[in-house]
Amino acid sequence: MDRIRFGSSNNLSSTQVRLWRDYLKLFVHPDFYAPHKPAGFSETLLELCTKQRELTWYIRIVRSAYDRAEMDKGMDFFVIDMYPPCPQPELARGASPHTDFRIMIMLASNRVDGLQIKQNGKWFSVNADRNHLMVKLGDQMELLMALLIMLFHKSAIHRAVVNSKTTRISLTTSYGPEVNNLVVPAPKFVDDNYNPPAYRGMKYGTRTLYLSFTSIGKWAY
């Protein structure tokens, strides 16, 4: 598997929606891969990814569910998505509707709108007009929290739309398990008699592959 990948997701053979996106994807954990240029990029990215990993570990539910050494075998990647101006934005999409399948995802953009979240059947735009970092909790968090009624959380369905005037760029870091790990409700919270698991679970790698082929899922990278 290439550790530094780039390409375009303009699936022109599709009769439905066209994807209008260029991307650079870097594997950053457990081994770190990044281009040497521009100067300082690789060092800054390494610091960002290390801090995010540390931050995720501070989430109490993650700490109580997982073993640190096990989690540190996890696979993280960093993606830069670029959505150039599109002459017919109503026919295209930057990203199809999907949920993110990891624990925690951080997203920054060049302050151009495009990210939308679905709530109660309607799409809402996330205001990108600020210098903020957006934190999303992914499917794996939903799975963990499904057992704790007080903390019930649904991984949000979101998509990226494109526009005809401005290039949008988004940067995403995410934290997830190793591909061969079984993603299941945390055993510490499950009890076969009184508190049976609400999800069956599957291998993280299988889940990734599955999402690449479903409509509520990520396009294949």
Ligand X SMILES: O=C(O)CCC(=O)C(=O)O
- Tell me how far apart the alpha carbons of residues 49 and 74 are, in angstroms, rounded to a whole number: 12
Per-position x/- string for 73-112, each x denoting binding to ligand X as judged by CB under 6 A, each - no binding: ------x-x------------xx----x------x-----
- Minimum CB separation of residue 196 from ligand X in Å reads 31
- Tell me how far apart the alpha carbons of residues 126 and 117 are, in angstroms, rounded to a whole number: 7
- Minimum CB separation of residue 199 from ligand X in Å reads 21
160 sits near ligand X (criterion: CB under 6 A): yes
Give the dihedral of Cα atoms 144, 151, 76, 198; nearest 10 deg: 20
- What end-to-end distance do the CA atoms of the chain give, in Å? 12
65 sits near ligand X (criterion: CB under 6 A): no
Closest CA to 92 of 9, 213, 216, 210: 9
- Minimum CB separation of residue 170 from ligand X in Å reads 3
115 sits near ligand X (criterion: CB under 6 A): yes
Give the dihedral of Cα atoms 194, 104, 158, 11; nearest 10 deg: -120
- Tell me how far apart the alpha carbons of residues 102 and 163 are, in angstroms, rounded to a whole number: 28
- Looking at 100, 103, 173, 183, which residue binds Fe ion (CB under 5 A)? 100
* Window contacting Fe ion (CB under 5 A); options: 12-20, 39-47, 97-105, 181-189: 97-105
- Looking at 9, 96, 155, 170, which residue binds ligand X (CB under 6 A)? 170
- Preceding amide of 38 cis, omega within 30: yes
The footprint of Fe ion (CB under 5 A) covers 100
The footprint of ligand X (CB under 6 A) covers 79, 81, 94-95, 100, 107, 114-115, 158, 160, 170, 172
